[in-house]
Structure 1
Amino acid sequence: MAAAARVGQEGHMAPHRPALFLDRDGVINLDKGYVSRVEDFEFIEGAAEAIARFNQRGWYVFVVTNQSGIARNYYTEDDMHALHAWMEARLAEAGARIDRIYHCPFHEEGENPRYRKDSFDRKPKPGMLLRAMADFPVKRESSFLIGDKEADLEAARAAGVAGFLFTGGNLADFAEWTLAGFEDGHRG
């Protein structure tokens, strides 16, 4: 499957492209604590616009999200997948596309034994970013992450990707400002 993502229509290897990595809660949607239901999901201002702009530039857009609420038995993986399908449908209506969502349902103190473990995917570890870069031909040195916590930035650094801290406001404006500084050599 991973190889198929890299091969273009004519059978040639797809060129490497930069990637925008986004945390979910606090970046794409307001972080209300363990958001798992459509009725609790509220997009951050400018989220769809930011994603659409990077789509138009030819960048990959990936979501990398810790979902310890699954390990804590607050909601199920099926609940999360249903929410993500709804989120992606709303983004598509706004002309925005996420190439893949990576999630980590594990937490070493989880209530659910199936998910109670340490994981290389759980930020601040870089597993989700590294998997995205293995699954897609990502141009690492031109890619960056936007997150709202230090753990997001630590994961980006560990994966060899620049990281930028979003503290609120309009995500599209922040992403454009970040890209301009990033291209000028101000790496996160």
Structure 2
Amino acid sequence: MNDFFLANNRSITIKVLGNDIEVKQLLMHNFDIWSPIASVIRDSLKQSDYSDLIGAGLVKDYGAHVFQLCSMCTSTDVETLLDLAESDPLEFSHVIKHVIEVNGAYFKEEIRPGLKTRKKKGGIEQTWFDSFQYLIAHGHRPDDVLLMTYGAFVGYLKAAEKYQRNRGKFDSNIIRAAQHADKKGFTAFQDELSKH
């Protein structure tokens, strides 16, 4: 899914046995509810890409998680999903595939944002609030951060980190130019910066 799909909280509609099912993105405001369910599925997918055979294995090994996640990500209740899985396992496997694809930012990510550092005794403890504050410091409002899709959250977090790194390089170049330039050279450097 592309950046605009993620940022605009778009969904897709699939046909399942003649009925339309909307497959939605997971949102940050209920991360604490869906993450424990989705992480089990994500961890089992680490070894390989999704296939119908893997979908069948997910249902067999982690059925409760699969049905809960599919219910959260679709416009379909758990009972209907259970009926679908029983009557047409292949069709249900395709629903799982679309849920994973639409939420690929979570299921296919290599580095997870948020709790990267957690030290308790005399060290630094980083929480999700630190990630939220980082985005807020870069112009996002708290309510907007919570209403972001997980994919948009990760995308904005990476963009803010990239901006911060580039800003650090820019600032260090200015400091170096100021340190090594004479007064006339530094004034010319400042004039050049003012033109942009």
User: When the two structures are superposed, what TM-score results if normalisation uses the length of structure 2?
Assistant: 0.25
The structure carrying a bigger helix percent of its residues is: 2
The structure carrying a bigger strand percent of its residues is: 1
User: When the two structures are superposed, what TM-score results if normalisation uses the length of structure 1?
Assistant: 0.26
Which of these two proteins has the greater Rg computed from alpha carbons? 2
